[in-house]
A = this chain, B = another copy of it.
Amino acid sequence: SKYEYVKSFEVEDKLMPSTWIVVRIDGRHFHQFSDEHEFEKPNDKQALELMNSCAEALLEEFKDVVFAYGVSDEYSFLFKKTSEFYQRRASKIVSILVSFFSSLYVMKWKTFFPLKELKTIPCFDARAICYPSTKIVRDYFSWRQVDCHINNQYNTCFWMLIKSGKTKREAQDILKGTQTPEKNEILFQLGINYNELPAMFRKGSCVFRDKVEEIVKYNQDGDPVKRLRTKVGTVHRDIIGDTFWREHPEILSD
């Protein structure tokens, strides 16, 4: 039609070829959302596992996503460098991932919160970022995990102080300017060994495809017949050091 010229106002938004694409989604107003749904403080196991379950389903659907890292109300998804998903169009990639994740979050809610009604509409923002080298991709995930650690340590201290009877104001004043050793000391005083807290809280969650041995059937002798299968799974590991990446070289391989 004579109106079709309006399509020419759409701008090409291709992401640079041969770079790693990270899509980070983050819950919108999740401070409020967590309150409304009475998430446990500072970490709600169910809420985090809901996020992880959505991320796993997302990796099942989108084969070009090779790794994901989640913490708090956010998740980062890594596309392999050579991905041609939607010809690398930024708004396609960003919108499809965040839409898919949002739908899943609502669909899976009842599984993780069988007794809680979904009262308000969960919503996530999203952005795409390109990284030119694996080194910088590693630094990206280190950034998120350091953030996880710092926030989690602070929040754990804070809520333990609250539980111990302090006001929010008092807890803030006590923590102001403290470093890691002092925070550990505070936790120790309150009877908490930080390193014994669940790894999911301390390390966040890594989702990726892994080779797993699977029992396909049992033969006549009753012996299991096994096969290697690729399966999406979640672990809570340090991703700042080299160990994890050395154990999973396929993630960052070209």
Contacts and interface: CB of A to CB of B under 8 A. Distances in A.
Interface of A: 1, 3-12, 14, 16-19, 25, 28, 57, 61, 90-92, 94-96, 98-107, 118, 121-133, 136, 139-140, 142-143, 146-147, 150
B17 A8 contact: yes
Nearest to A137: B6
A27 to B, nearest CB: 10
Nearest to A4: B143
B94 A95 contact: yes
Given A103-B105, A103-B121, A127 B9 contact: no
Contact of A94 (B1, B94, B131): B94
B10 A127 contact: yes
B10 A12 contact: no
Contact of A16 (B9, B122, B128): B9
A2 B251 CA distance: 23
B3 A146 contact: yes
Query: Is the contact region of chain A dominated by helix, strand, or loop, or is it mixed?
Result: helix
A59 to B, nearest CB: 13
A7 to B, nearest CB: 8
B133 A28 contact: no
A220 B122 CA distance: 45
Contacts of A9: 16-17, 129-131, 136
A123 B15 CA distance: 22
A146 to B, nearest CB: 4
Contacts of A127: 10, 91-92, 95
B142 A3 contact: yes
6 contacts: A1-B142, A6-B139, A9-B16, A9-B131, A11-B16, A102-B102
Given A96-B123, A121-B100, A125-B95, A133 B136 contact: no
A150 B127 CA distance: 35
B11 A11 contact: no
Given A96-B123, A124-B99, A11 B14 contact: yes
Contacts of A25: 95, 99
B99 A143 contact: no
